[in-house]
Each structure stands twice: as C-alpha cells, then as structure tokens.
Amino acid sequence: MTDTATPGRALPHPEREQIRLESVLHALSDPMRLQIVRELAAREAELSCSQFELPVTKSTTTHHFRVLRESGVIRQVYRGTAKMNGLRRDDLDVLFPGLLDSLLAAAGLQAGRLGADG
Amino acid sequence: MTDTATPGRALPHPEREQIRLESVLHALSDPMRLQIVRELAAREAELSCSQFELPVTKSTTTHHFRVLRESGVIRQVYRGTAKMNGLRRDDLDVLFPGLLDSLLAAAGLQAGRLGADG
DNA sequence: GTCGTAGTTTGACATCTCTCGTAGTACGAG
DNA sequence: CTCGTACTACGAGAGATGTCAAACTACGAC
C-alpha cells in the first residue's frame, strides 16, 4: 500500500465476506476479463487500465473492470489520473482456498492448448 | 457404465478437447446449476433430473441441465424414460487439474458461511 | 487558465439468459 | 393400444450483458 492513492475518489468494493462465488465465476467467464486477470496475476503488480491492450473501446474496458471490481476479483485505486488494478489474492485465498490458483493454472493450460499466448 | 442406456436417443456432448474453461465457469455461475453440480458430486452417482428438487418448473430444469451438458460439465444418458446425469470428473480433471475440487470446496465453504445446506 | 491524457457516463442496440406455460414426444407398464 | 411418467420444444416476456459512439469529468503539466 504505497500511499499515493488519490483521495476523494473512492470506489465501492465488496467486503471480503460479501464476495459470492457465483459472481466471481461469472466475472471470469468472459474471455476479456479472464485475460485481464491472467495478466494481472502474471505480472505480480498493479496495472493501470490502459496498460492492457484489449480489442475493445475504452467504455467497454471500463465496463469489464467494473464487473471485476464489483465481483470482488480485483481492487481498484485511483493514482493521479490513472486507475490501478490489483488482484484481491489475499481475500480470494481466504474465502476459496486454492481456487484462484487452479483457475489460473486451468486458464494457462487452455491457452497453451489453443496456441494462444500461453 | 452399465449398458442400460436407451439406444437411438443420443445427446450431443462436447468432446473433451472442446470443453472451454469460460463455458464451464459460465455454467457454474448460476446458483441453480452450481447446486445441481454440488449434489451430483456429493452423491457420487448418476441422478435423474427429477431427483433434484429445484424451485423452478420442468422446462427451466431442462434448460439448466442442457447448459451443463453443452458446457461439458455433466454427461447425460437416457435410461428408459429417465435421463441420468453424471459429472464429467475425469475429463475435467485432465483438462483443468484440481479445478473441480477447488470449486466444490469453495462452494461448500460458502454454503456453510451462508447457513445454507453446507 | 489551457491542454492533453485517463477514465466515466449515458444512451443505444443486438444478443443472451432465466423464467414460465402449453403442447408435444419417448418410453415402460398394463 | 392406452395410459402415466419423464422429459423436450416452442414460443414469449422481463431482465442482464457486451459492445459501441459521443459527450463528459478528473487530474497533472505547462
């Protein structure tokens, strides 16, 4: 938590206890969002929205990041004009032990099979 | 595989290699379907559609079972007038090792937290 | 203050999803 | 062949979803 977050622009996140498995699965069932989560996990760092090269417009990108945040998969913080995104690995690991890793492994295996960027 | 399946009423299933992670996650992101899969995993047996006491009509039940079958989560076979449903555990474990177990464990934990039938 | 960059908001549109009710098909029992 | 059971098919309707374009806000740099 480097304290560089921009004050006065808080974003609503579900508490850990409010995160629902169904919502997480729904969030990850979209290829675009699964890709985002995969990149976020690969580089173990927070990334701004614009660092993802997604084949959709900015409004659609905003939409996907919001779904991920509202389902509890990622945490978003404003840092100046950028919006940084980080996986909520700690919360997810407590709620659903091993799930995130299995999910990422599965996504990696499938990407390899399909000849994508695995 | 007791050979009691009714011939001439085959149902289309995706091959193992055709099963997509996104489709599986989408199938499991519905509470009704997640419940079905949980029951199917708990009793390690094939169950007919009508053995599930779901709070929806028969047509809706048919719909949910079809989504599960077409996503590759379950296998369906006619046995007389009944349609038996079984988890495709073997295929899923090969494709996405550990995923199904993490998913079931996560669903169990959440059901316990929520005071449902966990 | 002005400008540019980053992201949001709104409205629209096509598609999909979950649900239902009604009518229909497939099988086994008699 | 008739009947009952188990499930399907076919609409239909309410609502969610993914996408876009255009106009907007927030921040930093100058």
Tally of domains in chain B: 1
Within a domain: B115? no
Average pLDDT over residues B79-101: 96
Residue B78 confidence (pLDDT) above 70: yes
Task: Give all strands of the β-sheet with A74-79 in edge-to-edge order.
Answer: A47-48, A82-87, A74-79
Residue type, B43: R
- Mutation pick from B103, B104, B113, B114 vs chain A, by most beta carbons of A within 10 Å, is B103
pLDDT, tens digit, 9 for 90 and up, residues B91-101: 999 999 999 99
Residue B117 confidence (pLDDT) above 50: no
Among residues A21, A38, A102, A27, the alpha carbon closest in space to that of B96 is found at A102
Within a domain: A1? no
| Cα gap B90→B87, rounded to integer Å | 8
DSSP B116: S
Within a domain: B117? no
Q: What are the residues whose beta carbons fall under 8 Å from the beta carbon of B68, sequence distance 6 or more?
A: B27, B33, B36, B37, B74, B85
Helix (H) or strand (E) holding B47: strand B47-48
- Selected residue with higher pLDDT from B1 and A10: A10
Half-sphere exposure in the Cβ direction for B69 (13 Å, CA): 18
pLDDT, tens digit, 9 for 90 and up, residues B24-77: 999 999 999 999 999 999 988 789 999 998 999 999 999 999 999 999 999 999
Strand C, nucleotides < 7 Å from a protein CB: these are 4-11, 17-23, 26-28
pLDDT score for A29: 98
The nucleotide lying nearest B48 (C-alpha to C1') is D6
| CATH code where residue B41 lies | 1.10.10.10
pLDDT score for B72: 98
Asked if residue B110 lies in contact with residue B117, where contact means CB atoms within 8 angstroms, the answer is no
- Selected residue with higher pLDDT from A44 and B90: B90
pLDDT score for B96: 98
Q: Is residue A55 less than 8 Å (CB to CB) from chain B?
A: no
Residue B83 structural domain: 16-105
Low-confidence stretches of chain A (pLDDT beneath 50): 1-2, 117-118
Within a domain: A64? yes
The token pair at B95 is 């494709």
pLDDT score for B30: 98
Distance from the B68 Cα atom to the nearest Cα atom in chain A, whole angstroms: 14
Chain B hits for A22, Cβ within 8 Å:
28-31, 34
pTM score, two decimals? 0.92
Q: Is residue A99 less than 8 Å (CB to CB) from chain B?
A: yes
pLDDT score for A82: 95
Distance from the B114 Cα atom to the nearest Cα atom in chain A, whole angstroms: 10
Q: Is residue B21 less than 8 Å (CB to CB) from chain A?
A: yes
Among residues B90, B116, B97, B95, the alpha carbon closest in space to that of B34 is found at B116
